[in-house]
Structure 1
Amino acid sequence: MEASENTHLLQHKEIAIVGGGPGGLTLARLLQLKGAHVKVYERDISKAARVQGAIVDLHFESGLKVMEAAGLMDAFKANYMPGADQFRLVDKEGNIFIEDKSNGVGGGFGDEHFRPEIDRGALRNMLIDALLPDTVIWDSQLVSMAEAGNGWKLSFKNGTIATADIVIGADGYRSKIRPYVTDIKALYSGATIIQGEIDNPETACPEMYALVNNANLIAMDIGKTIAAQPRGDGGLTFYASSLYPENWVETSGIDFNDKEEVAAHLIKYYEGWSPLFVSLFKVCPRFVPRPLNYFPLDQHWEARPNLTLIGDAAHLMPPSGEGVNTAMLDALDLSECLTGDEFDNIQSAIGAYEQKMRARAKMLAQEALQGIEEFSAPTEESMKRLAAQFNPGE
């Protein structure tokens, strides 16, 4: 990898990125291209430690723009999943209500409406492979951090310690770095999803596998939905979503580590739905409950001289298809502020990045919050509106 030396603010600085998701890895790649010294500390014991989840689509003005800046567009084209950007909406009986193939058929690279899908694991591996050897330090779950001179000392669960001049939190919605930046807490959106992973859907639930058919599928009925997406390894990720009280995961009495208990709840909650969907619950080996939280839209903090956040650690919002794209755009903006010649010191560079990041996140979070109730608990009226968007003549 050829590196530039245009890093006057970062010369002789050691940078620690905590979190090896798409945002953190993208930032490491962009900084290394400018000659910066970077380590990524990731809690997973290896890159094969766990399934990374379903597919994610990259957008023209964000994720794909960043791929170009990172010199990784050819690698992305070699790894994306053609046709997986199709959308299919079905009712609770599994009848296809809307099928939109416009992205998969009418678009292509260079078209601003084209949103190609890639498996999250493939995206992560592609980014890791683009880094210098030993950039990612695995099995590094951060426990605490303390100021040390003009930098930081990081302590990890495995007993190791690292030091850095600059720390960037890319460690998601449960960020261990965020409390060192701000004490602003997340708020509950009102919706919770129960995520399931099925590794062999073609044999475990063949009818559901056929219905998904390599597309983004959403099944809707009044008050609840089920979304399902393919994984690049042939697996299937699904999300059962509805409105639940705050702290419902803790007060429900369900042991979410007991797949039988979770399946029993879902089978009862989705009573009257097609056996197609019940099959998902019965064969799923693991469930994860995810209350959909968000950070206040007007959040603000004073920039630190050697510490900042990107992605969900900075601006958690309900799922809207923008999360990975926004984290990657954060990485691009931060790398440009830190390695350009516009700022006299790191604190002012971080401050400029954070101002831009928060303004963008506020706008996207407003849109996500407006749509979360309609997605998680549709009404008859909201389903009609959705149908009209895709079938305006009807």
Structure 2
Amino acid sequence: MTPPLRRTRLRPTDTLRLGMIGPRTRKMRSALSALGISLGIAAVIAVTGISASNQAHLLERLDRLGSNLITVAPGNGADQKPVPLPPTAEKMLANIAPVQQVTATGATKAQVYRNDLVPAQQTNSLTVLAARLNLLDVLHATLQSGHWLDKASENLPMTVLGDQAALRLGVSAPGERVWLGGQWFVVTGILAPNELAPELGTAALVGWPEATARLGADGTAAMVYLRAHPERVPDVQTVAGATADPANPSTVAVSRPSDLYTARAETKNSLTGLVLALAAVALLVGGVGIANTMVVGVMERRGEVGLRRALGARGGQIAVQFLIEAVLMGFIGGVGGLFVGGLAVYGYALAQGWPASIPLYTVIAGPLVSVLVAAVAGIYPALRAARVSPTDALRSA
């Protein structure tokens, strides 16, 4: 009587070597299978990357428009009269960690007229403000013509007019003079309209040192403009009042979140949901493709499976062999998809003029998810191969 075959245990290296038989002997089919996985992962990378790049572009534009701009101004006290900000308010607000930029304007006692013959009461509702040199940078403001104040002109009788101020004074170009604070000031520039700070449109802006020396400015900020980290705007708004005036925080007027900030949050949330939904669809399609490829592979290799079973291989060893094949194809496809998808994202972003952005979690999760999807998709084909009857498999070979 012939003794039964003794079943032996395979070492991990032997199991891995068996799992690589399929990819080595069926190079074209394995390459096409890996290509299918690569396209799925590339679709995930491209969808998430292009969406993230578009999101970064939109958020950057919203931030430039002022979604992270906060204004701090004097509020009213118990007697309903304005309470000035302390002289230290500007510096104290600049010390808030999420605050990125700070600038300010200050009130003066001067009025501006077209010439020295205009009656004093005809002010045209114009104001004269002391201005920091970084005012345009923080507000992302521009000039219609001329140039902004610099370190030299801020100490001289020179001014920049808001667009409405220039219109009411009849000033059409830089180089003209206006009667400001009882003396002539040369107009160096005219501001373009700015929706973030409409109060500047009816103002004549003078360098801070000149306004302090000649126009009665006391060095106190009448309006402080803050640029905060976009994600920390509510936090800055919460502490801005107490920081600007610790003794009387209730008398400080801090702007509330603007419609732009709300739009920014909605844009970020909606695009994130879209990215996740499209990524899930792409992974589902990739997983179905892997499962289909593995099922076909099992059917084509019934003879091989039957021969191994007849020689004593256990069902678990057969299942592990096919599962390793699926995982290998998933890993190769995931790495290839990451590379192809990354090229697609950077190429598309470059063509659109967007900042290229691929989420870090996508870069890390791409190959890992492809392996996981391949393993899940390969479970059924592997179990099917393990259940193949040696007799039926050899008969059909």
Same fold judged by TM-score > 0.5? no
Higher helix share: 2
Higher relative CO (Cα under 8 Å, sequence separation at least 6) belongs to 2
The TM-score range, normalised by the shorter chain, is under 0.3
Higher strand share: 1
